[in-house]
Structure 1
């Protein structure tokens, strides 16, 4: 099976943390996650805890806040687009 990805996904390495945080707005609780892989346009995340994952949220990783949309979800693993 060939993949037709525009961007290559990379696993976090070196000085970049593989931990991130998800929040829908300022009043919502923060959801911890682990970055499985990422590209310039999206990421694959493992979600910790049992809170419901919103369809749109902000993702904080490496000191950068990005607006995200969930593209797919399988259990507690989600694919997001920035």
Structure 2
């Protein structure tokens, strides 16, 4: 038998993610300016976005990435990064 030499993952995700960073926009409402952000991680169930400089973002907003617009709920906040669920 050949021993398993693959490194062990520190965490397990329910769904696979795409680790490609891309520009995105946070849309809060019609009278609030759009917030530009960087999409750090993306999966069918949620995403991690990075906002720099950090600006206040409500717990619910819409994320626009390319032609895809998703309604989001903030799951966690750590510094300039925000984890959202779709």
Q: Give the TM-score category using the shorter length.
A: 0.7 to 0.9
* Aligned positions, number: 78
RMSD: 1.6
CA distance in 2, matches of 1:3, 1:50: 27
Task: Write out aligned runs for 1:14-33 (5 A).
Answer: 18-33=22-37
2:14 to 6, 10, 23: 6
Structure 1, unaligned runs of 5 or more: none
Runs ≥4 in structure 1, deviation > 3 angstroms? none
Q: Normalising to structure 1: TM-score of the pair?
A: 0.85
CA distance in 1, matches of 2:12, 2:19: 19
